[in-house]
């Protein structure tokens, strides 16, 4: 078959690509417009080390403080990703957990070390309303602070390490509908064309 025959075949079976594009378009619309998460709350943690190494050089002391602060920041990221900690955060905020799957719980709250400073951790969480995002973010900061204090009291974490955090910030998430719709149309055309050609090939081999 040449290109003209393919075009004619697609015109005759236009309903197949149209239905696929419609289905993908509806799915994209639901995923973006009806997505339950419209607000994101963030809180920034700053860690440090108040220990003073009087018998060591100032340069080594500075390196030690930076290294221990960076390691402490890694501990914070691990704590925030813990399903048990996340469950405590939502319970303290009096908010229902979005999911009960352990693998999914670890992804609800995102926490990463700041690329510009190894002692800064930025955590963010999505929620259905600005009020929920604020409550969960506040609970996140308080819960992590309590966990750090408990670890220090158990001597699992050095008491020289310090933790502070900013006031929670909540902002709305803007859903971009243009790109998903364009991708749905392109994917629908390709998938629809493939279905039409395969269907035509099967008829010819019978």
CA angle 177-183-188, nearest 5°? 125
Tokens encoding 79: 């704590």
Q: Is the pLDDT of residue 44 over 80?
A: yes
User: pLDDT band at residue 65, thresholds of 50, 70 and 90?
Assistant: low
At which residue do the structure tokens 């973006």 appear? 32
Three-state DSSP class for residue 55: coil
Lowest mean pLDDT among 1-5, 93-97, 103-107, 139-143: 1-5
Contact between residue 129 and residue 36 where contact means Cβ atoms under 8 Å apart: no
CA distance 149 to 31: 40
More confident residue, 22 or 141: 141
Phi, psi of 184 (to 5 degrees): -65, -40
Residue 128 near residue 37 (C-beta atoms within 8 A) = yes
Cβ neighbours of residue 34 closer than 8 Å, sequence gap 6 or more:
none
Is the confidence at residue 78, as pLDDT, over 80? Answer: yes
Give the model's confidence band at 91: pLDDT under 50 very low, under 70 low, under 90 confident, else very high. very high
Position 2 pLDDT exceeds 50? yes
The model's pLDDT over 7-23, given as tens digits with 9 standing for 90+, comes to: 677 777 778 778 888 88
Please, which contacts does 79-87 make with residues 24 or more away whose CB atoms are closer than 8 Å? 79/144, 79/147, 79/148, 80/109, 80/111, 80/121, 80/123, 80/140, 80/144, 81/106, 81/109, 81/111, 82/106, 85/143, 85/144, 85/147
Asked whether 118 and 72 are in contact (CB, 8 A), the reply is no
Contact 174, 201 (CB under 8 A): no
């Amino acid at each position: 078959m040449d290109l003209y025959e393919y075009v004619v075949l697609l015109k005759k079976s236009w309903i197949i690509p149209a239905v696929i594009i419609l289905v993908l378009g509806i799915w994209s619309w639901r995923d973006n417009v009806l997505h339950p998460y419209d607000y994101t709350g963030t809180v920034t943690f700053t860690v440090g080390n108040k220990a003073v190494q009087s018998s060591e050089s100032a340069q080594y002391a500075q390196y030690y403080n930076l290294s221990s602060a960076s390691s402490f920041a890694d501990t914070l990221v691990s704590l925030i990703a813990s399903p048990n900690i996340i469950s405590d955060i939502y319970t303290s905020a009096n908010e229902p957990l979005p999911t009960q799957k352990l693998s999914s719980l670890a992804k609800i709250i995102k926490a990463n070390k700041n690329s510009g400073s190894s002692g800064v951790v930025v955590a963010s969480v999505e929620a259905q309303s600005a009020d929920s995002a604020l409550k969960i973010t506040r609970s996140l900061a308080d819960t992590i602070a309590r966990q750090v204090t408990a670890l220090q009291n158990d001597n699992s974490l050095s008491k020289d390490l310090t933790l502070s955090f900013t006031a929670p910030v909540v902002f709305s998430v803007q859903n971009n509908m243009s790109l998903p719709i364009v991708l749905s149309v392109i994917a629908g055309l390709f998938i629809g064309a493939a279905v039409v050609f395969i269907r035509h090939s099967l008829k010819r081999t019978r």
